[in-house]
Chain A
C-alpha cells in the first residue's frame, strides 16, 4: 500500500497556513475598503482550506474520481452562498 508520508511537505504547508493566517489578520487591520477586503479574505480562506484538503487530507494522492466526488459536493454550498447572499444584499439596496 502506498504510504504518502512527506514530512517536509507537511512543515511547508504548516508554514503556509501560519503565514496566511497572519496575513488574514493583517489585512483586516490594514483598513482597506470593504469589498476588496472581503474578496481578499475569501481568497485567502479558500487557499488555506485547499491546502488542508490537498496535503493534510491526502487528496493530492487520491484518484481523480474520488477527488472530484468530494470537490463537487463541497463547492455547491459556495455557489448557493454567492447567489443567495447577493440576492439578499440586492433586496436591501435602496432602489
Chain B
C-alpha cells in the first residue's frame, strides 16, 4: 500500500497522530488532501473518492439493469402490452426532458472545467444551472404523471398496478426520478460548498465526483428514454 508522504502528513497533523499509527492511512483520503493524490500504477491520478463513486455507479447500473430486464422480459413475452383505455406515452414531451438532461450534463462539465481553472463565478453559474436543469426535469416528470394545466398519465388511465405496462413504466421512471432528486440535493450541497469557497484554487475533485453521479443519471435516462418510450408497442 503506497501512502503519500504529503497526504499522510497532512492527515496526521489534522486529526492527531494518536490513533493512526505510523502510516496514517485511513484518513488520508478524507478532506481535500486527495487533490494531491499521487499517480498510481493501476488507477493513474483517479482519487479514491472517484473510484468509490464508480463502484457505486456500477452497482447502481445493475439495479437499473434489473428493472429494465424485468420490463424487457415481461414485454417481450406479452401478447398485448397496451390494454384498451391506456394512453400512449408522450414521446415529444419526454424528448424535451431528455434534451434538458443533456443540457444539464453540459453545464456540469462546464462547471467542472471552471473549477479546474479556478473561475469562481463561472463555476457557481454552471453549478446553479445544473441544479436548475435537474429541478425542471422533476417538474416535467410531475407534469407527466399528475398533469399541470392538463391531464397527466394517471388521469388518462395509466394506473400503477393495473397492468404490467403501467407498473413497469412507473417503477422505472420513478426510480430514475429518485436519482434526479438525489442529484439535485447532492449538487445543491456542492453549490453551497462552492459558495462558501471550499473549491477555491482549482480544487475540483468533489465537483468531478458529483459530476460523475449526475452524468450517470443522464446516461441512464438515455437508456430509459429509448427502451421505455421509443420502442414501439406490440403490433395488435
- The answer to whether A and B belong to the same complex is yes
Given contacts A5-B117, A84-B73, whether A41 and B230 have CB atoms under 8 Å apart is yes
- Contact count A vs B, C-beta below 8 Å: 142
Q: For B218, list chain A residues within 8 Å (CB).
A: 52, 56
| Closest B residue by C-beta to A22 | B95
Closest CB in chain B relative to A51 CB, distance in Å? 9
How many residues of chain A get a CB closer than 8 Å to chain B's CBs?
49
B136 at the interface (CB under 8 A from A): no
Which secondary structure dominates chain A's binding surface?
helix
Cβ A56 vs Cβ B105 within 8 A: yes
Q: For A42, list chain B residues within 8 Å (CB).
A: 226-227
B223 at the interface (CB under 8 A from A): yes
Residue numbers of B with Cβ under 8 A of A are: 35-37, 42-46, 51, 54, 57-58, 61-62, 64-66, 68-69, 72-74, 76-79, 91-92, 95, 98-99, 102-103, 105-106, 108-110, 112-113, 116-117, 202, 204, 208, 211-212, 215-216, 218-219, 222-223, 225-227, 230-232, 235
Residue numbers of A with Cβ under 8 A of B are: 1-3, 5, 7, 10-11, 14, 17-18, 21, 24-25, 28, 34, 37-38, 41-42, 44-45, 48-49, 52-53, 56-58, 62-63, 65-66, 69-70, 73-74, 76-78, 80-81, 84-89, 91-92
